[in-house]
Chain A
Amino acid sequence: MTIPRSHVLISVDANTLIAGVKSVELALIEELRKRGLEKEVSVIETGTLGIIGKGVVMVVYPEGVFYGNVKIEDIPELVEEHFIKGRPLKRLIIETVTPTFVSKEEVGLTRKQTRIVLKNIGVINPENIEEYIAVDGFSALAKAITKMTPEEVIREVKNSGLRGRGGAGFPTGLKWEFTRNSPGDEKYILCNADEGEPGTFKDRLILEGDPYRIVEGMTIAGYAIGARVGYIYIRGEYKLSIERMQNAIETARNYGLLGENILGTNFSFDIFIKKGAGAYICGEETALIESLEGKRGIPRLKPPYPVAKGLWEKPTSVNNVETLANIPDIILNGSEWFRKFGTEKCPGTKVYTILGNIVNEGLIEVEMGTTLRDIIFQYGGGIKDGKKFKCALVGGAAGAFLGEEMLDVKMDFDNLKEYAAVLGSGAILVMNESACIVDMLKSILRFFKHESCGRCTPCRVGTKKLVEIIEKFAHLEGDEKDLEEMENISLVMKDTSFCPLGQSVYLPVTSALKYFKEEFISHYKEKYCVSGRCKQKKVLV
């Protein structure tokens, strides 16, 4: 066997597929073959490299050179320069900090990140179980089921302080304990991969980039709570995630890592995929359970909580993808190790998707408690085109606008709550000075109107009324009363809506009014919109 002198890792994920990564990869393989380099240079598909919006992205090791926007026509030159002449092709290098070879740590988005959840993504081939095993994959599972009791697993997760990464921040260990202690022999673990929060795609990239980690995390969770079956509910739109997850589950079964008597123990567990059909509300845990049972995805009344009566009325633990992705490392390295990262009350890391008017859009993982300023200016490279920062929408549509004065707040579940904001799903949409708040809020409110399931009146009617009012401002109309009305409706919705969808609409509304009331006023008083997108209604004569 010959050992290749170079490895080219190509990011094959939903973003790069759009940019045509497959044909570029084929061209590269063909070119290497033509030059007789196919044994010396190995081409490997991985999950996302964390760099997005830069077309086809690849990294060449051992040098650690990142190339972006690679097109088919660049391939002959790239092979000639890099692999034959041994010098990197400068014009395609991303974010060079030095004119020659750069190390991985120094490249824009991957700079100084603390990677637990994402550590294998962009490093291993997500379709090859042996690569996952080679980076200690499934050792945590082996440790859990051969050396620990379920109670010990739960205690370790409780001690780690891990909190649910889907947005609510509920302690994961506690949820597992409740589920385990609920009466009944039949229990379920559900992985919530119905990621629909606008601006969020972390779960998709985790599923695409490291699916075995989710298999392992879910299996450990199943062992801890006493489940024999787990379901992963994935959005119907996430084609590649479904394919990679399916492949991971099937391979794990063939390796005896799922199914009867896992690793020769008495523990048996299996995972099945359920595909959604386009409903944002199914991200809410009880709606997700309804949908999984084959019903309309309408939330249930709580209590009883799923930990007592969930899927088919049986005790059920519903965990987010990112939460489960933390589990293998917690079990393997211990809760104390995990507590070294993040803040006292929110240990560990958080995966964010940063986008909008920012230099480096992408996926990052940093410690809990990192400030918005660091995320935007250090990891994100600052505001695009030299413009000024205006605000960021943090937590998706069900999140809040954070203005300049919030840049230095340490972001975790509790700190943001003090400022009437939420960490939510970890989406950070950055807006520059020429973005219009009215226009953005209009988009958010239309989204809620569309996704309201119609079950309860405050949400069904409230979202419709809010859209009517915001459209007035968007037509440079409205008055002070409308501003009050908007705030009132959203607060009534917060207090009286049935589920988190209606309850969270007040976040974007009140935060927009808090930081940018002047802008609403200038819309109706001076008929002025900073973006020029809000225009007076055309009158048909």
Chain B
Amino acid sequence: MSKRDEILKKFPPFQENILEILHALQDANPYNFLTHEDISSCAEYLQLPYSYVEGVASFYSMFSLKPRGRFIIRLCDSPPCHLMGSESLLDYLKEKLGIEVGETTRDRVFTLELSSCLGVCAVAPAMMINNEVYGNLTPEKIDKILNEKRDEL
């Protein structure tokens, strides 16, 4: 059984489990995205049209159909973080990584995305990298975090 089938078998083949399945398939991909094969095997498993599954995957912002970096930076730019200066941090991140929002660095390490409220407004401005949340951000702190992430590879 392929790794993909193993993941699918963890969930009963009902349409209501589609988000869980897509989460699991995406988490298993080192480049944090859903491949053509992921979509088609999910469609087959749930007996749904390919277009339907792709439609669902493209609706939710946590899923990507394009390869992303190993680390997905989700900077929060909702009003509380904005008040605390998240916009200047966005400019800083764009310049430092040399990419725009939605793009991935050429070495495929970082993808820059914006997120709606992360719910950690007390430590605004905040961002999430994969599953971890970082708060009280400053350019210096961002430098440190990005360096640590690179070292993890």
Residues on A lying within 8 angstroms of B by beta carbon are 14-15, 17-19, 52-53, 195-201, 204, 235-239, 274-280, 291-298, 353, 355-357, 361-362, 393, 396-397, 429, 431, 435, 439-440, 443-444, 446-447, 450-451, 453, 533
Contacts and interface: CB of A to CB of B under 8 A. Distances in A.
Interface in B17-76: 17-20, 22-23, 46, 55-56, 59-63
15 contacts: A14-B120, A14-B133, A18-B133, A196-B117, A238-B119, A276-B60, A277-B61, A278-B60, A294-B17, A294-B46, A397-B79, A431-B83, A443-B78, A443-B83, A447-B77
Interface in B105-135: 114-124, 128, 131, 133-135
Contacts, number: 138
B121 to A, nearest CB: 5
A443 B22 contact: no
B82 to A, nearest CB: 4
Given A198-B117, A274-B19, 18 more contacts: A198-B116, A198-B121, A199-B78, A199-B117, A200-B117, A200-B119, A237-B118, A275-B23, A294-B14, A296-B56, A297-B59, A357-B83, A397-B78, A429-B80, A447-B77, A447-B78, A453-B59, A533-B87
B152 interface: no
A393 B79 contact: yes
Given A277-B60, A277-B62, A292-B16, A355 B80 contact: yes
A412 B79 CA distance: 23
Binding site of A, secondary structure by majority: helix, strand, loop or mixed?
Answer: loop
A353 B121 contact: yes
Nearest to B19: A277
Contacts of A196: 116-117
Interface of B: 14-20, 22-23, 46, 55-56, 59-63, 77-80, 82-83, 87, 114-124, 128, 131, 133-135
A15 B62 contact: no
B60 to A, nearest CB: 4
A201 B83 CA distance: 17
Given A355-B124, A440-B82, A279 B59 contact: yes
Given A53-B123, A201-B119, A276 B114 contact: no
